[in-house]
């Protein structure tokens, strides 16, 4: 690797570390808050509240899904359980959308890496999209008897810890604190660490290599940018937390907040595996209602968000990530080190063999080059 290549790698790593410093406090806080919600709002209680086949159940499902810390793979078995408990297709669809599109952890990191307006607008947009989908499903869908629930493959393979939905019950404050810590910094970290790493790396590459105003020059037209973000977000798996640094980096390089919102809504709620599973246990008509609702609402709400920024005379690139600047540097550094330690521990626990093989391969390559150099 030449000097220019090394400079690029250093620039990317520096950008990634800067992003981690700016967001680590809020990531850790979001994880802790997700643990509190998980322990004090168990899924059994959610199931009881979402029974029924009416508009009230759709509203409850869309609302209760917003803060829940479930990604788009762990929400599938939960949705199947809701259907088995008697929830309507409308309520199930609403829950399937609002839950992965938002969450306590993603809201917290949005406050750090985006700005207050997008932090508020994002969960509202998730609720509205979910409610719209549930409404369409209730009106136009067929609430058939439960189909293919036993045969449905609910494991999409995106969660490393198996997307456990049950936290062991305990008694007393100490036991609850242990449950919260275990879910927040062990289970949730295991589930999300690879995707957060992917999002941070993607953001670091954009910040280091993509020219300023790149998206302004090539994606200035909303009629191009928003469909492009929709097409990018629908087929791939990306969780709400890891998509946040990606969109923040793209906004800093000139992408409109509305186009970024399209990606934030479509990416976490859809991927090929989720779509196939949805078709299997809810039917083809429900699948198309689900996809149409996400596409229509994400673009409509994206246009609304851009108009809101314009009417308030807010420059998106000037406000992104400014909230994190209020924290003292020692606090940011300590949080970044704690987050990095937890992330490294999680990666080593899950991929120790792969990491060791990779290090050995690199060592053999370097040693071979050194021996060749000495021989010459």
Token readout for 43 is 């899924």
Instruction: Count the neighbouring beta carbons within 10 Å of the beta carbon of residue 191.
Output: 26
Paired residues of 52 in beta bridges: 87
CA distances from 78 to 213, 306, 354 (A): 42, 34, 31
Residue 327 has pLDDT above 90, yes or no: no
Q: How do the domains of the chain map onto residue ranges?
A: 3-375
| DSSP line for 151-176 | T-----S--TT-----PPP--SHHHH
Mean pLDDT taken over the chain: 83
Cα–Cα distance for residue pair 103/66, rounded to 1 Å: 5
Percent of the chain with pLDDT over 90: 38
What is the 8-class DSSP label of residue 324? G
Residue 163 has pLDDT above 90, yes or no: no
Helices (H), the chain: 3-40, 43-49, 55-65, 75-84, 89-101, 104-113, 116-140, 173-182, 188-209, 214-218, 222-233, 240-252, 257-269, 272-282, 284-311, 316-319, 329-375
pLDDT band at 161 (very low <50, low <70, confident <90, very high): very low
For residue range 240-271, list pLDDT tens digits in order: 888 999 999 999 888 999 999 999 999 998 88
Looking at per-residue confidence, does 354 or 126 come out higher?
Answer: 126
Residue 167 has pLDDT above 50, yes or no: no
For residue range 307-321, list pLDDT tens digits in order: 999 999 998 878 888
pTM exceeds 0.75, yes or no: yes
Cα–Cα distance for residue pair 327/63, rounded to 1 Å: 31
Predicted local confidence at residue 70, as pLDDT? 76
pLDDT band at 81 (very low <50, low <70, confident <90, very high): confident
Q: CA end-to-end span of the chain, whole Å?
A: 19
Read off φ and ψ for residue 274, nearest 5 degrees: -60, -40
CA distances from 109 to 31, 181, 333 (A): 10, 19, 16
Q: HEC string of 2-64?
A: CHHHHHHHHHHHHHHHHHHHHHHHHHHHHHHHHHHHHHHCCHHHHHHHCCECCHHHHHHHHHH
Residue 69 has pLDDT above 70, yes or no: yes
CA distances from 39 to 169, 239, 270, 355, 360 (A): 8, 21, 27, 33, 41
């Amino acid at each position: 690797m030449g000097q220019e290549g090394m400079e690029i790698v250093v620039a990317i790593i520096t950008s990634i570390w800067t992003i981690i410093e700016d967001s680590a406090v809020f990531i850790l806080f979001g994880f802790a808050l997700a643990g509190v919600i998980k322990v004090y709002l168990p899924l059994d209680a959610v199931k009881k509240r979402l029974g029924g086949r009416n508009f009230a159940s759709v509203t409850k499902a869309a609302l209760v899904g917003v803060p829940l810390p479930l990604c788009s793979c762990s929400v599938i078995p939960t949705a199947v359980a809701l259907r088995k408990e008697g929830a309507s297709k409308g309520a199930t669809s609403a829950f399937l959308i609002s839950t992965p599109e938002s969450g306590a952890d993603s809201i917290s990191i949005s406050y750090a890496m985006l700005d207050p307006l997008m932090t508020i607008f994002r969960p509202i947009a998730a609720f509205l999209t979910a409610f719209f989908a549930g409404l369409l499903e209730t009106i136009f869908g067929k609430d058939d008897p439960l189909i293919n629930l036993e045969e449905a493959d609910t494991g999409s393979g995106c969660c490393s810890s198996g997307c456990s939905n049950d936290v062991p019950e305990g008694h007393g404050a100490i036991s609850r604190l242990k449950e919260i810590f275990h879910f927040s910094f062990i289970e949730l970290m295991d589930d999300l660490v690879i995707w957060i790493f992917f999002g941070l790396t993607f953001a670091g590459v954009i910040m280091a290599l993509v020219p300023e105003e790149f998206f302004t020059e090539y994606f200035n037209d909303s009629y191009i940018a928003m469909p492009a973000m929709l097409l990018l977000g629908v087929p791939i798996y990306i969780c709400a937390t890891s998509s946040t640094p990606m969109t923040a980096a793209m906004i800093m390089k000139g992408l409109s907040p509305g186009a970024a919102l399209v990606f934030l809504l479509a990416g976490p709620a859809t991927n090929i595996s989720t779509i196939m599973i949805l078709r299997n246990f809810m039917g083809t008509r429900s699948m198309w209602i689900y996809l149409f609702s996400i596409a229509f609402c994400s673009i409509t709400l994206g246009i609304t968000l851009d108009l809101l920024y314009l009417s308030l005379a807010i420059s998106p690139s000037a406000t992104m990530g400014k909230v994190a600047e209020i924290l003292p540097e020692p606090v940011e550094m300590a949080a970044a080190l704690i987050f990095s330690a937890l992330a490294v521990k999680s990666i080593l626990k899950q991929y120790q063999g792969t990491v060791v093989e990779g290090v050995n391969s690199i060592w053999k390559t370097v040693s071979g080059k050194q021996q060749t150099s000495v021989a010459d």
